[in-house]
C-alpha cells in the first residue's frame, strides 16, 4: 500500500473527542475537521495514555506508557533521553521539524527535531513542581480558578500563540520543497484560558448549549477519588453564577471552532502548495476536557470527556470511514515511524494496520499520577467495557455500548464480577499497578527534595496554563 510521501501531524490540546461535528456533537461546529474525517478514517475509540499534558506527550514521543517513561506529572517533561519517533526519523534521514507546543523540557534537549520553530516548553524548564505534592496533608489547594480569571470573548496569549503557530505552519508548507518531510504542528486550543475571538464565541448562544451532564446540583454523587482530585483545583466552585458557567462552556466550544479554523488554514496551505495528494495528515489531541460534565473542568480523570481523544487520519490510500478498534497515542507514534520505514519505537501498532485488521477486544491502558491525585489511578478499555481502578478506592466499571454516558457504575453488581476480574487481570498484565503507584510517589518525593522541599516546590511552575514563549512579533 502506497503512503503519502510526506506526513503532517497536527496535535491540539485538551480537545474532547466528542466535540466535533463528525463525532455527532449536537452544537459544536468543526467543518474543516469534518472534511478531513470525510476523506479518511476517524477512530471512534481513541485514548490518551494519561489525561494530562506532559505525561501524555512524553508517551507520544516515545511510544511507551507512563510507567515506562517515568513522566508521571507536569514537572517531569520529556528530555530526549529515551528514543523518540523523531530520533527514528532522523536516523532514516527524513526531514523532521516542529512548530508550536511540544511541552518538553527545553530547546537544548535533542528530542528528535531538526528544527523547533517557536516551541512552547514547560515553564522554566521544570514545569508544575507544586502539583507534584499529592498527599492531602501537604498539598496546597489552588486559590485561583484553574480556568483563569477571564472568560468569554476576546483574545488571550493562547489565541495569539495559535494564530502565530498557524501562520508559521502555512509559511513552512509554502516553502516545503521536494524532499520527503514530517511536520509536527502543536496548537494549544481549546486548552484554557477560556477566552476566544468574538466570532467564534458568537457561534454558541447560551440558549443553544446542552444542559450540564450529571451535575452534583442535580443529585449526582462524584466518586470519592474524583471528588478529592477535583478539590485540588475546583473550577466549578469559582463560577459566580450559572451565566458565568454558560460563558465558560460557550468559550470552550468556541475554542474548538477556533482550533478548527486554524486547522483549516493549515490544510488550505497544504493544498495551495500542491502537497495534499502526496501527504498523509494525522489530527489528534493530547487529552480531552470534561467541559462541565459532573461539575468538572479540565482533564485528570478517566471519563470519556477527559480520557478519549479525537483521532483522524487521511491521505493517499487511507480508507474512508470509521474504525472502532481501541487505539491510543502510542499507535500514532508507531504510525509516524512506519510511514517512513523507520525503526519502530515503543509498543504501538501502525494505524494503517489497525484499519485493515480491526481488533474488537484490543486493550488500551491509561493512567494518572499527577495534579490532585491522592493515589494512582488506571483505566483499561477493552471491548465494550471500561474499568477504572483507583488505588485505595472502589473501582468503577462501565458498559460503553449500553451506557455511553457512563451513568451506571457496574463495579458493585455481582453479575459483572467475572468481567471486572478479567479486566483487572488484563490491566495487571499491562502494568503492575501497585509498583507504578509506589514508583510515582517515590519519584515525586525525590523531585520535591531536589528542589529544596515543600515551600520551594510551591513556588515552581505555572499556576495553570503554561505561558507561551515570547515572540518577535508579540513581545514577551
Domain count, the chain: 1
Predicted local distance difference test score (pLDDT) of residue 475: 41
User: Is 177's pLDDT higher than 90?
Assistant: no
Give the mean pLDDT of 61-76.
Answer: 98
Residue 112 domain-assigned (yes or no):
yes
Predicted local distance difference test score (pLDDT) of residue 186: 98
Q: Supply the CATH number for residue 56's domain.
A: 3.40.720.10
User: Is 322's pLDDT higher than 50?
Assistant: yes
Residue 475 domain-assigned (yes or no):
no
Residue 38 domain-assigned (yes or no):
yes
Residues 112, 447: contact at Cβ < 8 Å?
no
pLDDT above 90 covers what percent of the chain? 91
Residue 35 domain-assigned (yes or no):
yes
d(CA 410, CA 232): 27
Predicted local distance difference test score (pLDDT) of residue 476: 37
Predicted local distance difference test score (pLDDT) of residue 150: 86
User: Is 143's pLDDT higher than 80?
Assistant: no
Q: What is the pLDDT of residues 229-246, one digit of tens each?
A: 999 999 999 898 999 999
Provide the pairing of β-strand 6-13 with 181-190.
Answer: parallel
User: Is 163's pLDDT higher than 50?
Assistant: yes
Predicted local distance difference test score (pLDDT) of residue 271: 97
- The answer to which of 102-116, 119-133, 143-157, 275-289 has the lowest mean pLDDT is 143-157
- The answer to which of 94-98, 145-149, 290-294, 305-309 has the lowest mean pLDDT is 145-149
Residues 69, 62: contact at Cβ < 8 Å?
yes
Residue 472 domain-assigned (yes or no):
no
CB atoms within 10 A of CB 147: 23
* DSSP run (H or E) holding 251: helix 242-272
β-sheet bridge partners, residue 382:
385
Give the mean pLDDT of 354-377.
Answer: 97
Give the mean pLDDT of 49-65.
Answer: 98
Range of the domain at 207: 6-458
Residue 476 domain-assigned (yes or no):
no
CB atoms within 10 A of CB 454: 15
d(CA 36, CA 45): 17
User: Is 268's pLDDT higher than 60?
Assistant: yes
Give the mean pLDDT of 325-347.
Answer: 98
Residue 470 domain-assigned (yes or no):
no
Provide the pairing of β-strand 321-323 with 327-328.
Answer: unpaired
Predicted local distance difference test score (pLDDT) of residue 6: 98
Residues 6+ apart with CB under 8 A from 422: none
Predicted local distance difference test score (pLDDT) of residue 140: 85
Global pTM value:
0.97
Chain centroid to CA 185: 14
Predicted local distance difference test score (pLDDT) of residue 473: 54
Averaged confidence pLDDT in the chain: 96
Residue 57 domain-assigned (yes or no):
yes
User: Is 2's pLDDT higher than 70?
Assistant: no
Which pLDDT band, with edges at 50, 70 and 90, does 24 fall under? Answer: very high
Predicted local distance difference test score (pLDDT) of residue 474: 44
Amino acid at each position: 500500500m502506497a503512503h503519502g510521501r510526506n506526513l503532517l501531524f497536527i496535535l491540539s490540546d485538551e480537545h474532547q473527542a466528542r466535540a466535533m461535528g463528525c463525532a455527532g456533537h449536537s452544537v459544536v461546529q468543526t467543518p474543516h475537521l469534518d472534511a478531513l474525517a470525510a476523506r479518511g478514517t476517524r477512530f471512534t475509540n481513541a485514548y490518551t495514555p494519561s489525561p494530562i499534558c506532559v505525561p501524555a506527550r512524553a508517551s507520544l514521543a516515545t511510544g511507551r506508557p507512563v510507567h515506562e517513561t517515568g513522566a508521571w506529572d507536569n514537572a517531569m517533561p520529556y528530555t530526549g533521553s529515551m528514543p523518540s519517533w523523531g530520533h527514528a526519523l532522523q536516523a532514516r534521514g527524513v526531514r523532521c521539524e516542529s512548530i508550536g507546543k511540544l511541552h518538553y523540557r527545553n530547546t537544548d534537549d535533542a528530542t528528535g527535531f531538526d528544527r523547533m520553530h517557536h516551541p512552547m516548553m514547560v515553564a522554566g524548564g521544570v514545569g508544575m513542581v507544586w502539583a507534584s505534592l499529592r498527599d492531602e496533608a501537604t498539598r496546597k489547594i489552588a486559590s485561583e480558578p484553574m480556568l483563569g480569571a477571564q472568560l468569554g470573548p476576546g483574545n488571550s496569549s493562547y489565541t495569539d500563540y495559535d494564530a502565530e503557530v498557524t501562520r508559521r505552519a502555512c509559511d513552512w508548507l509554502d516553502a516545503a520543497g521536494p524532499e520527503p518531510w514530517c511536520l509536527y504542528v502543536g496548537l494549544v486550543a481549546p486548552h484554557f484560558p477560556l477566552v476566544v475571538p468574538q466570532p467564534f464565541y458568537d457561534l454558541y448562544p447560551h440558549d443553544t448549549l446542552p444542559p450540564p451532564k450529571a451535575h452534583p446540583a442535580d443529585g449526582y454523587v462524584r466518586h470519592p477519588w474524583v471528588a478529592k482530585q477535583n478539590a485540588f483545583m475546583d473550577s466549578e466552585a469559582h463560577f459566580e453564577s450559572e451565566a458565568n458557567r454558560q460563558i465558560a462552556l460557550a468559550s470552550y466550544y468556541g475554542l474548538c471552532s477556533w482550533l478548527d479554523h486554524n486547522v483549516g488554514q493549515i490544510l488550505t496551505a497544504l493544498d495551495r502548495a500542491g502537497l495534499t495528494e502526496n501527504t498523509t495528515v494525522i489530527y489528534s489531541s493530547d487529552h480531552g476536557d470534561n467541559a462541565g460534565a459532573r461539575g468538572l473542568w479540565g482533564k485528570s480523570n478517566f471519563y470519556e470527556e477527559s480520557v478519549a481523544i479525537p483521532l483522524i487520519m487521511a491521505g493517499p490510500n487511507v480508507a474512508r470511514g470509521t474504525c472502532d478498534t481501541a487505539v491510543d497515542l502510542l499507535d500514532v507514534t508507531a504510525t509516524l515511524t512506519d510511514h517512513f520505514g523507520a525503526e519502530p519505537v515503543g509498543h504501538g501498532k501502525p494505524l494503517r494496520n489497525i484499519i485493515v485488521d480491526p481488533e474488537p477486544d484490543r486493550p488500551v491502558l491509561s493512567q494518572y499520577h499527577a495534579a490532585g491525585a491522592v493515589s494512582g489511578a488506571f483505566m483499561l478499555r477493552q471491548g465494550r467495557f471500561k474499568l477504572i481502578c483507583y488505588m485505595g478506592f472502589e473501582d468503577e466499571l462501565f458498559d460503553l455500548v449500553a451506557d455511553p454516558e457512563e451513568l451506571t457504575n457496574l463495579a458493585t453488581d455481582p453479575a459483572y464480577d467475572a468481567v471486572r476480574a478479567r479486566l483487572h487481570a488484563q490491566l495487571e498484565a499491562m502494568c503492575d499497578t501497585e509498583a507504578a503507584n509506589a514508583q510515582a510517589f517515590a519519584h515525586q518525593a525525590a523531585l520535591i527534595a531536589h528542589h529544596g522541599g515543600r515551600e520551594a516546590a510551591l513556588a515552581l511552575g505555572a499556576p495553570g496554563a503554561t505561558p507561551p514563549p515570547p515572540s518577535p512579533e508579540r513581545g514577551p
